[in-house]
Structure 1
């Protein structure tokens, strides 16, 4: 049957809901929809098959489908889109959907939903998807056959607006085959407009800066979205003001910038604290506490918050806060217009601390996790993208990995789910097919999403998966030992490798020293399909580098 039913007389033509959904997604800039299909999804897949500019990507798990959609949302600007069916499909999907909410990635999650007559009834796989997704999305709703574009465009607007995040849209089963007349006069969705920061509070900020002897600047996810790195770098250098960043804001300021002071929360954060604990004013720029609460690192001094929304902060501990609420670009413009003398920071001392920190991050082992990252940085081109999983190695990457620009290192820190690295690399390669893409995963996280290597094989994607094999959940082991508890439940295996020279059709190269690892990487990046390079290391190098306190008790 045709996807279009011609109206009679002057009535507008009627089009199948499935086709309307697919065309609406395509028109808002969606290139891929990731998921595991159901019977109710068949009509939508058929609509994608015959529609130019949008494709369905079969994944091995719904959770990793949502992670792929998250990363597409970060890199492409349009919301990423994923799908899961009833019950277990939706609950699997929810891990990545929650990730998009707390990692601030625009995403639309689609799921099957029961027809109206069956909602609330006892039936196979039947749960309330609206209730399931309410705590992990900015909004949850369901499709109506006569409001397809309105509902999807509204979902995209919400997903993109403010701090971006996920929106859930339920698709009642059977609605895909219904016909209705789509609205054709709706503007494409875009993030809502935020007004400029008020002049009065901008002047309060400028006065606070002028009075401060040792201010510090802290950049977060909002600063990345606002693209204010160059302005902040110039302002900091002109006035000798240190800059710290959150892990997901890496790339906003160069690691060799004279005012760069390091990354909060990650490896050797106590060394970073030697700088920010001296400050008498903390200026937050696009700082999102979802990565690291301000109370956990900032000294108890006056705080300026330059953001499009007020700061979540314990006001009893920090009673003196100036909220410069409005567009981050307008707040930064007012910041940079502040007339003041050079501040009292000892730039040479800052340089010495920075150099000492990076020297320690070279590691103690000839071939440990630090050496793995050093060799990878030598081999991966500057415009390449490295994603990473969650684990002890993430804390090293956050502090150690030189990141030339935002988006060239991709991690999850607001949500922090293990299993993120491989699906994130697949999505990055789909979005940036002309650059080298790799992922760094621990052997624990590798086991959580290794099945997506089969997806990379099917798609013919030349991504390189670096597995740091230490047979240890190192972060948890270190915490056990700090409590003087026996090591229990953290060894991944007694010894050995991830197993075999081929996993799901992906060749595995194994290395236990620098030169062998470097040669394996070069071979892997020169290959036309996915490759695994396994680095056999000890986890003990992490013990002296990670889980340090950002501020004294």
Structure 2
């Protein structure tokens, strides 16, 4: 269905440029676009509506981009967001950059003034390609003469390993112009099912199976590449065959169930030194789909590394004398099948390490106070097993990253590449839109809540039954702790108190306040049956953060 009749192109199809763009997105499985409207994009939004694509309003462009990113994270599809020109396009940048560094496929589209005025006009005119080129995989213009081809390339670039954001600019008159290139052909998205190339450094002749068989204390480090490639079962099979611990990167939580006997913890979250001790003790690390974009601390691991991923180790954040580039699950299956070495670890040793990690996780807890770990535990106890949790950025994220037991992929959504504050609430809203039958909980700090709280009014208008648990300590804690460590005063790191219950009620949400574990438990009652957003103001004692970090 076209927005208007249009003139038939050379391929016999017709439609406006906007119509072809929308048809290309729909063919790629896009069912929802997150937008903040403006004059140049009216034609595009109307085409999307006519094609049955839900156009969801974000209350600002930046949160619309976060929603698109989270929608892709939750579904495994392609996130899509659209903004107007000028300030709309500049406000979109943060979420687009997050998608690129979080390795999430995204198509971001911004309108522009009419083509004839672009050469000389200055009001609200920003050079989009220059603006977006540093934070995307590709930034380009859409023209009526090449619209289908441009969309095909945009979709392929966004989804190719490593995935990320593509930004497209389209002038207002181009959106409405008859497309001369209107045949939509969706590119292939599935990865090659076969293992690819093996790269061995000069002087190193050892094969991966030989290295693995000779290793005395191997550790498998799984990252977001393994999660994207649905390699979780293969990770577990290899871990069981070799009998070695599995450490996961934060955005890969759930790639293996965290109650599995070989699961050993999450890297660079709470108690990070304990987990690093395990990794540094390894004489061989299998870096499986591990993306160093998630590293917070430098790589200082003396043991050998085998890099197994869909892309070569071009970052060189960690050295690897051996790289296996191809389908991750196929590589791991082959290693498990051919393994002939002795078992070096026991399940009891890994269980003892998990107990040490758990003890460290609860360190600094103050009896009689509402501690951050109390909040994580209470939400987990009240939440059904299939709950999807999102988290914002801050001290609470490090605790959620380590302490929330993820049992399936895509069940914990966080930004840990760009690590941008303001992600948690938009992510929860998008996740609930995408997966309405699943309980959704956002775990956010009071700083992140202040950035995006008004988005909850839209969630209420849509009747989205999600919960937002706010860790209220009146502080930008991660930075305040660093100020304190240098004996500096708390400059610009204190947050003025807000009555979040009243604020929630003003946005047609439910609100509750909890200062004790009992009050929090009561506030969380009925978490699985919410019919509109619930905001819980959890007033925590931040002292535990000091012990943790």
- Name the TM tier (shorter chain): over 0.9
Tell which deviates more after alignment, 97-106 or 452-461: 452-461
Distance of 1:511 and 1:252 partners within structure 2: 33
1:275 paired with 2:278, answer: yes
2:537 counterpart SS class: strand
Unpaired runs of 5+ in structure 2? none
Contact 1:157–1:191, Cα closer than 8 Å, also in 2: no
Change in CA separation of 1:34 and 1:242 when aligned onto 2, cut-off 3 Å: same
Equivalent residue number for residue 68 of structure 1? 67
- Residue 78 of structure 1 and its aligned partner are, at CA, apart by 3.1
Q: How does 1:298-317 map to 2 (within 5 A)?
A: 298-312=300-314, 314=316
Q: How does 1:130-145 map to 2 (within 5 A)?
A: 130-145=129-144
Equivalent residue number for residue 386 of structure 2? 383
Equivalent residue number for residue 4 of structure 2? 3
Change in CA separation of 1:265 and 1:6 when aligned onto 2, cut-off 3 Å: closer
2:305 counterpart SS class: strand
Alignment: residue pair count: 540
1:205 paired with 2:208, answer: yes
Change in CA separation of 1:6 and 1:142 when aligned onto 2, cut-off 3 Å: closer
Q: How does 1:395-414 map to 2 (within 5 A)?
A: 395-414=398-417
Change in CA separation of 1:7 and 1:104 when aligned onto 2, cut-off 3 Å: closer
Q: How does 1:141-540 map to 2 (within 5 A)?
A: 141-184=140-183, 186-191=185-190, 193=192, 196-198=195-197, 204-292=207-295, 296-312=298-314, 314=316, 318=319, 321-345=321-345, 347-362=347-362, 364-366=365-367, 367-493=370-496, 497-498=499-500, 500=502, 502-523=505-526, 525-540=528-543
- Residue 277 of structure 1 and its aligned partner are, at CA, apart by 1.9
- Residue 75 of structure 1 and its aligned partner are, at CA, apart by 2.7
Distance of 1:533 and 1:481 partners within structure 2: 29
Change in CA separation of 1:184 and 1:203 when aligned onto 2, cut-off 3 Å: farther
Change in CA separation of 1:204 and 1:40 when aligned onto 2, cut-off 3 Å: same
1:42 paired with 2:45, answer: no
Q: Scaled by the length of structure 1, what TM-score is found?
A: 0.92
Contact 1:17–1:179, Cα closer than 8 Å, also in 2: yes
Equivalent residue number for residue 103 of structure 2? 104
Distance of 1:123 and 1:541 partners within structure 2: 52
Contact 2:439–2:466, Cα closer than 8 Å, also in 1: yes
The root-mean-square deviation of aligned C-alpha atoms, in Å, is 2.4
Contact 1:153–1:189, Cα closer than 8 Å, also in 2: no
Contact 2:241–2:336, Cα closer than 8 Å, also in 1: no
Distance of 2:34 and 2:110 partners within structure 1: 12
Equivalent residue number for residue 129 of structure 1? 128
Equivalent residue number for residue 551 of structure 1? none
- Residue 444 of structure 1 and its aligned partner are, at CA, apart by 0.6
Contact 2:238–2:333, Cα closer than 8 Å, also in 1: no
Contact 1:276–1:298, Cα closer than 8 Å, also in 2: no
Change in CA separation of 1:200 and 1:131 when aligned onto 2, cut-off 3 Å: closer
Q: Scaled by the length of structure 2, what TM-score is found?
A: 0.93
Change in CA separation of 1:469 and 1:525 when aligned onto 2, cut-off 3 Å: farther
1:4 counterpart SS class: coil
Distance of 1:15 and 1:239 partners within structure 2: 57
Deviation sequence 1:274-322 (CA, Å, 0-9, x none):
32221111110001011017x824522211000122224558x84x510
Change in CA separation of 1:411 and 1:11 when aligned onto 2, cut-off 3 Å: closer
Distance of 2:18 and 2:3 partners within structure 1: 12
